[in-house]
Amino acid sequence: MGANQRLRQRTVWLLIIILVLGFGAVITRLAYLQLIAGEDLQQKAVSQQLSDTTISAKRGTIYDRNGKILAQSASVWQVVLSPASFKTDEQRIYVANRLSEILGLEAEDVLEKTKQNSYYTVVKRKIESEEQKQILELMNEVEDKFKLSSVIALLDDYKRYYPYSELASSVIGFTGSDDQGLSGVEYQYDEYLTGTPGRLVTATNANGTIMPFDYSQNIDAIDGNSLVLTIDETIQSIIEKYMRNAIKDYKVYNRGVCIAMDPNNGEILGMATVGGYDLNDPFTISKEEQKKISEIDKDYLLEKGYITEEETYTAEEMSEILATAKSEAESAALSKMWRNKAISDTYYPGSVFKMVPLSMALEEGTVNKDTRFNCMGVFNLYGEDINCHNTGGHGTQTYAQALCNSCNPAFIEIGQSVGEEKWWEYYQAFGFSEKTGIDLPGESDDIFFSEDGTMGPVDLAVASFGQNFSITPIQMITAACAIANGGELVQPHVVKQILDSEGAVIENISTEPKRQVISNQVAEEMRGILEQNAIGGTGKNGYVAGYRVAGKTGTSEKLSDSNGDGVQDYIASYCGFAPANKPEIAMLVFFDTPLSGNYYGSAVAAPVFAGIMGEVLPYLELDAQYTEAEAANIDTTAGTYTGLSVTEASKSVNSDGFDVTIKGEGSTVVAQVPAAGSKIPTGGTVVLYTDETSVEEKVTVPNLIDYSVGDVNYIASYYGINISITGAVNSADAVAISQDIAEGTTVSPGTVVTVTFSSGGVND
Amino acid sequence: MSQYSTGTNSTRRYSTTGASSRNHTSQNPPQRVVKRKKQFSLLSIGKGLDVPFCMLIVLLLAIGITMMFSASYPVAFYEIGDSYYYLKRQLLFAIVGLAIMLAVSYFDYHHFHRFSALILGVSYFALIVVLLIPSETGVRRWIGIGDYGIQASEISKFAIILFLAHWGSRYYNKMHTFKYGVLPGAAVFVSTAILLLLEPHYSCIVIVALLTVIMLFVSGIRIKWIAIAAVLLAAAILLLWATGLLTYAMDRMDGWGKALEYIDEDQWQQTWQTRNSLYAIGSGGLFGLGLGQSRQKYLYLPEPQNDFVFAIVCEELGLIGAIAILLIFALLVWRGIVISLRAKDRFGKLLGIGLVSQIGLQVILNILVITDWLPNTGISLPFFSYGGSSLLMLLFQMGIVLSISRSANIEKI
């Protein structure tokens, strides 16, 4: 029995080991996982089950101030795969091929995805309805063919559309692949636009379809809020049209900026960095930049320090270095393209800034009506000669004349009269030492001589005409607005209202004026001086016929030679507002490095300012008041004369204030040039055609550039065309600087050619 | 046949076991047997078939199939389009299996004495055949017959238990020697293990090793041999490690114990099943989400009907449910051991102990795998995991245990 006893004993031991040790260990482990680690594990499980089912909220719309849509999200789809659901390689290959066909992807890449050991992998995002239909067909096909129902799935997705493509690109900004704002308003107001993603009440399985059991706590996705911008699409379009043309005409190397702002409340009406980029395709750089990058060679690598002369490189190393250089150049080009120059770049404000020291001096009373400034063309400051742009000298001037002459020596004296301490106080008061706080990302700080405002006498002298310290364009126009609105420093902003997804206003955004910088009286006097400047001073190229415009030119030197031609670079700018007595719009026009030869603000920026204002002011429904001389150049709208008898038509043309020319032998008017509704200067000629053959008569547009207003009118009547005049026509020395229909173009008689005039002889 | 083994054992008993202490204890057995009979009769309902054991099997099978159905219906619905796909098949196999079990219980298990060598041969044959069948995945475990297949290792586990029970009962009094006690067992194990290594099927090697040790231990070999075997085993693993033969297992062990941490994409994908098993178990808490309420079975936990079915059990029934099921398993093992010890002959005792131990081992190893204490290597849970051939094999083996109980009870009268 001993042997059986041993068997029994050992069996009991075995039982103890299995039940106590084995089962004990198992139960201990389970108890730990379910009771102690349970909460944590459950949370992870739930977040896995729920996060997959999160429904993205629809991103809010961005409107201009009149409700035009600038950015909008539309429903699209994303295609996802459940690779682990495939049974055979044959199925994988088939689905990968079909998917790559429909979606235009590499079949190999898709095949790679079908081989992953997971239940969820995104194949392509943001597909549109055409592709979506094909995918639905493919899903049916796969189900019929392979009995696989859950391999491919379509999930909701949104895509951002920008109907105006390039318009206001630096302000609106764009979104990334996950619908997150990456720049501009899209970035700044991302949390409003994004909305609250829905936590789907029902949990879903790993494929994203809803689980068939009750697990409900439905929290709907709350669509993002919409934004109403202060930007006016019409004004913005006008600005960009003029800026684009100017950049081409003046061969501007480093883009241009225009900011239009309501001086009374800080609302930005238009803000353009031109050339911009297509918001619908923000990751493609311009062809020129692409060409530059493709031309990167050894010299470039040496210059930029990627390689050195001393070292030798294998071909492999070289191609690697080249690839690095190219990708770095590309990302640099992208960030330059996206950069909102209006708020992110700093520049020497130049003579435009002179309105600020004069305001200081008037407020402090350090200059008065009796103060005289004598300009000999050069100012000797502690043994150093500082030249005036008019090297012949401006002679004896009042402060108002000094500003209209943009006289540097006079402003050195004005600056000195204020003194360093007060100068710094006002500099701060005008908001140059701080960010304006505009609701856009990437605003830069100024760069002053020192952190605490201390500056030497030479610093003070040159600062008084806007050199050797840097500010942003937005700071400059905000300071100009303080002069325009009666002395208050406002905070610029681009968003006017926040709307909920239903369109109801949930927040009106307005910014409080930060402080009174100068008194209303001083501001009023400054407006008067600046208006005089626009009428007859250095700023006269910014004049707009019929409107009381005030403005100041500026030409500032740049420290860097940005295009590398070894010639000093300049920034041409013009800052002004209208109407001068009660300003409703202030505007800064700014060109970085014009290379066409003439780089003065008066020649480059002022006509653009005038052109934009000439269209914007009537759009703002401000009443025009013309001088007698201007009245002669006022355009009138041509009526409809076709269908009338020749006598009736002639009478009608004459009563509208035009001369009439009749071509052809018929008795009824069959055609007219200019067309009904076109603008023709009063006293212009309307050509009436009475038969079809005469319509084919053409004239050739002559060259009008460099002629005076009188000459241009004479030439036009000789050639049988009409002239619409814009620009500085009040100046006796004004000459035509551009014509909108080029010389040599064949047109019908009576066609209107718009000619822009500019006053020469102003080098500022 | 039964006369043969019991007879030889009883005549040799006194001559081989010389220790006086054993002689002392062996003076009393008649009374103790009588006492035990009374104890057993309390639990033994009726004569012949052991009803408690039989009821435990039916109970586990009912719970197992229910839970397997609950775990599998989303997968069956999404992947096959028929929620009842796995249930229908498993039910069919269960019915056939129960019939086989009852049939086998009427079969005198002593006949297996004769077949033990033959079945061991069949096991080797199956293991070699498996290696000759080409496979897409590089893992060769199944012998297919039409749509159905059986894992060769299922035969091997049974064959080894059977052979060692046969050998241990026949040479019970020589088992303390190396030649009879260790050598044959080691030979059978090593040869089987080599073939399993080629499949490869590491988890089965572990089970076969443990079963061999259990059988030899109960058959009375010296403890020191087991200790030596453990040392040798450790050395062998080190050697395999060094030679790189463990690649497949290593791959599977990559990230073992780290299922919840993200190390890299490979590891994250590899531990997907284990991680989601842990999520499921943890979600269950004390009382569970309720029968049918698992969320992890909705394609998060791959193949929830197979090795990881118990994770869904834990999620739906909680710790309470899991412990209750483990208790039923424990009762089954205990009852099985009791039945085995009541067998009149050593062959019956050893065979029963081996078959019941196998269930206990698989339960323990399976749960340690799904809780990430052991690498994910494919050990199914008896009565729960989906699989026709393994269920048939399991119920066939339970039939043998019932056959043992029947003969034990019959002879007691």
- Give the helix/strand (H/E) hosting A660: strand A659-663
Q: How deeply is B142 buried, as exposed, middle or buried, from its count of CB atoms within 10 A (0-12, 13-18, 19+)?
A: middle
Residue A685, helix vs strand vs coil: strand
Q: Is B176 on the interface with A (CB under 8 A)?
A: no
In a domain, B317, yes or no: yes
Q: Residue A61: which of A509, A495, A510, A511 has the closest Cα?
A: A495
pLDDT of residue B46: 41
Tell me the CATH class for A346-625.
alpha beta
Contact B339, B53 (CB under 8 A): yes
Which is higher by pLDDT, B267 or A208?
B267
Distance CA A495, CA A227 (A): 7
Angle at B377 between CA B280 and CA B142, to 5 degrees: 115
Q: Is A22 on the interface with B (CB under 8 A)?
A: yes
Report residue A713's pLDDT band, with 50, 70 and 90 as the boundaries: confident
- B positions 12-51 inside 8 Å of A (CB): 13, 16-17, 19, 22-23, 25-26, 29
Distance CA B365, CA B363 (A): 6
Q: What average pLDDT score do residues A123-141 get?
A: 87
Fold (topology level) of A633-759: Trypsin Inhibitor V; Chain A (3.30.10)
In terms of CATH architecture, what is A62-190+198-227?
A: Alpha-Beta Complex (3.90)
Does the distance separating the beta carbons of B340 and A11 come in below 8 Å?
Answer: yes
Q: Which residue in chain A has the smallest CA separation from B283? A: A42
pLDDT of residue A202: 46
Cβ neighbours of A112 in B, within 8 Å: none
- B positions 76-135 inside 8 Å of A (CB): 78-81
Q: Is B364 on the interface with A (CB under 8 A)?
A: yes
Task: Summarize pLDDT for A488-501 with one digit per residue, the tens.
Answer: 999 999 999 999 88
Which is higher by pLDDT, A307 or B279?
B279
Contact B309, B284 (CB under 8 A): no
Does the distance separating the beta carbons of A45 and B282 come in below 8 Å?
Answer: yes
In a domain, B157, yes or no: yes
In a domain, B17, yes or no: no
Report residue A524's pLDDT band, with 50, 70 and 90 as the boundaries: very high
Q: Is B344 on the interface with A (CB under 8 A)?
A: no
Closest-CA distance, B152 to chain A, in angstroms, reads 24
Residue % of chain A over a pLDDT of 90: 33
DSSP output for A577-596: EESSSS-SEEEEEEEE-B-S
Does the distance separating the beta carbons of B337 and A2 come in below 8 Å?
Answer: no
Which is higher by pLDDT, B139 or B78?
B78
- B positions 311-330 inside 8 Å of A (CB): 314, 318-319, 322-323, 326, 329-330
Closest-CA distance, B160 to chain A, in angstroms, reads 18
In a domain, B71, yes or no: yes
Cβ neighbours of B16 in A, within 8 Å: 3
Cβ neighbours of B295 in A, within 8 Å: 45-46, 49, 203, 211, 215
Q: Is B333 on the interface with A (CB under 8 A)?
A: yes
Closest-CA distance, B125 to chain A, in angstroms, reads 30
**Residue B46 DSSP class:** S
Closest-CA distance, A609 to chain B, in angstroms, reads 58
Q: What average pLDDT score do residues A603-615 get?
A: 90
Query: Cα torsion at A394, A397, A400, A401 (round to 10°)?
Result: -30
Does the distance separating the beta carbons of A18 and B220 come in below 8 Å?
Answer: no
Angstrom distances, CA of residue B159 to CA of A660, B152, B355? 119, 11, 11
Task: Summarize pLDDT for A330-360 with one digit per residue, the tens.
Answer: 998 898 899 999 999 999 999 999 999 999 9
Q: What average pLDDT score do residues A494-520 get?
A: 91
Contact A190, A180 (CB under 8 A): yes
Q: What average pLDDT score do residues B371-384 get?
A: 87
Q: Is B274 on the interface with A (CB under 8 A)?
A: no
Write the residue in A10, A33, A117 that is nearest to B282 by C-beta.
A33
Q: What average pLDDT score do residues B131-140 get?
A: 70
Q: What average pLDDT score do residues A49-77 get?
A: 81
Q: Residue A191: which of A416, A507, A659 has the closest Cα?
A: A507
Contact B390, B97 (CB under 8 A): no
In a domain, B258, yes or no: yes
pLDDT of residue A438: 94
Does the distance separating the beta carbons of B360 and A18 come in below 8 Å?
Answer: yes
Report residue B11's pLDDT band, with 50, 70 and 90 as the boundaries: very low
Which is higher by pLDDT, B132 or B393?
B393
Cβ neighbours of B79 in A, within 8 Å: 85, 148, 150
pLDDT of residue B27: 44
Q: Which of A41-55, A628-642, B96-110, B213-227 has the lowest mean pLDDT?
A: A41-55
Selected residue of B279, B303, B332 to mutate for chain A interface (largest A Cβ count, 10 A): B279
Write the residue in B276, B284, B298 that is nearest to A34 by C-beta.
B284
Task: Summarize pLDDT for A433-446 with one digit per residue, the tens.
Answer: 999 999 999 999 99
Does the distance separating the beta carbons of B80 and A2 come in below 8 Å?
Answer: no
Cβ neighbours of A45 in B, within 8 Å: 276, 279-280, 282-283, 295-296, 300
Q: Which of A8-17, A194-203, A465-474, A551-560 has the lowest mean pLDDT?
A: A194-203
Bond before B52 cis per omega within 30 degrees: no
Q: Is B337 on the interface with A (CB under 8 A)?
A: yes
pLDDT of residue B139: 66
Residue A699, helix vs strand vs coil: strand
| A to B CB pairs, distance under 8 Å | 186
Residues 6 or more apart whose Cβ sits within 8 Å of residue A4: B13, B29, B346
Q: What average pLDDT score do residues A528-536 get?
A: 90
Cβ neighbours of A38 in B, within 8 Å: 282-285
Helix, strand, coil content of chain B in percent (nearest 5): 75, 0, 25
Which is higher by pLDDT, B86 or A646?
B86
Does the distance separating the beta carbons of B363 and A3 come in below 8 Å?
Answer: no
Mean pLDDT of chain A: 85
**For chain B, what's the residue count?**
413
Distance CA A329, CA A50 (A): 42
Q: Which residue in chain A has the smallest CA separation from B315? A: A34
Contact A539, A574 (CB under 8 A): yes
pLDDT of residue A49: 66
pLDDT of residue B410: 52
Q: How far apart are the first and last CA of chain B?
A: 20
Does the distance separating the beta carbons of B25 and A2 come in below 8 Å?
Answer: yes
pLDDT above 50 for B141:
yes
Distance CA B161, CA B208 (A): 9
Does the distance separating the beta carbons of A33 and B19 come in below 8 Å?
Answer: no
**Residue A196 DSSP class:** B
φ, ψ (nearest 5 deg) of residue B110: -60, -25
Report residue B147's pLDDT band, with 50, 70 and 90 as the boundaries: low
Q: Which of A190-194, A442-446, A673-677, A742-746 has the lowest mean pLDDT?
A: A673-677
Closest-CA distance, B109 to chain A, in angstroms, reads 20
- Give the helix/strand (H/E) hosting A498: strand A495-499
Q: How far apart are the first and last CA of chain A?
A: 124
Residue B308 C-beta-side C-alpha neighbours within 13 Å: 28
Q: Is B371 on the interface with A (CB under 8 A)?
A: yes
**Residue A72 DSSP class:** E
The alpha carbon of A399 is separated from its chain's Cα centroid by a whole number of angstroms, namely: 37
Does the distance separating the beta carbons of B302 and A2 come in below 8 Å?
Answer: no
Work out how many domains chain B is built from and give that number: 1
Distance CA A673, CA A676 (A): 8
> Judging by DSSP bridges, how do beta strands A659-663 and A685-689 pair with one another?
parallel
Closest-CA distance, A197 to chain B, in angstroms, reads 22
Does the distance separating the beta carbons of B314 and A30 come in below 8 Å?
Answer: yes
Q: What average pLDDT score do residues A650-663 get?
A: 83
Does the distance separating the beta carbons of B295 and A49 come in below 8 Å?
Answer: yes
- B positions 231-250 inside 8 Å of A (CB): none
Angstrom distances, CA of residue A438 to CA of A358, A435, A493, B170, B327? 26, 8, 5, 96, 71
In a domain, B41, yes or no: no
Residue that has been written with the tokens 């080797």 in this structure: B124
Residue % of chain A over a pLDDT of 70: 91
Structural domain containing residue B285: 2-9+50-412
Q: Which of A207-211, A516-520, B315-319 has the lowest mean pLDDT?
A: A207-211
Q: Which residue in chain B has the smallest CA separation from A7? A: B218
pLDDT of residue A629: 65
DSSP output for A49-64: HHHTTPBPPPPPPEE-
pLDDT above 90 for A233:
yes
pLDDT of residue B21: 40
Cβ neighbours of B282 in A, within 8 Å: 33-34, 37-42, 44-45
Which is higher by pLDDT, B248 or B278?
B278
Q: Which residue in chain A has the smallest CA separation from B25? A: A2
- A positions 209-238 inside 8 Å of B (CB): 209, 211, 213, 215
Does the distance separating the beta carbons of B292 and A34 come in below 8 Å?
Answer: no
Does the distance separating the beta carbons of A211 and B298 come in below 8 Å?
Answer: yes
pLDDT above 50 for A597:
yes
Angstrom distances, CA of residue A17 to CA of A93, A288, A395? 52, 80, 114
Closest-CA distance, B151 to chain A, in angstroms, reads 21
